[in-house]
Structure 1
Amino acid sequence: MRKLQKLIAAERTTFSPYSRLPSCAISRIAAKCRKDEIADAHILLKELKAELATVPEWDGDTHDDIWRTIELFRAILEKVK
């Protein structure tokens, strides 16, 4: 598992896996991100966007899951100092 995924998973232990992480949790993740995690987030964003293009239009749940993950990575990157 990637370090970025481990950071997210560690925050998820205190919140429902189906809820969005609050801003304070995103800030804690961002504070622990270094150069490798930032690069990894950018790579994952590109992979998610490519995956989104392959998902059939009728599969709204998968579209929603991918967009939720994209939003999470963007939020983390916005808070990285």
Structure 2
Amino acid sequence: MPNRRPKILFERHIFHQRTNGKFDATHPDISHPKWGEYGKASAQYDRLGRAMALDRQAALESASWGLPQVMGFNAVSSAMQAWRR
């Protein structure tokens, strides 16, 4: 059965912003002030899961989701706009 999960990209610099750098020293691979070093596409859900263990809301807001790569912090706004149309 094919993987039905949406494509994601975990953005460690967004997680850093959302958590005020609280996890930078202990988890620099998932929390860092600079963007980049995303790693393999196959590792993104693992990175998201590890971040969720630290701060679920911030982690979900720090991933870009699906084909249009909507940022988690924009997901509710995007869904509401689509619903209003």
TM-score range, shorter chain: under 0.3
- Compute the TM-score of the two structures, normalised by the length of structure 2: 0.27
- Compute the TM-score of the two structures, normalised by the length of structure 1: 0.27
More helix by share: 1
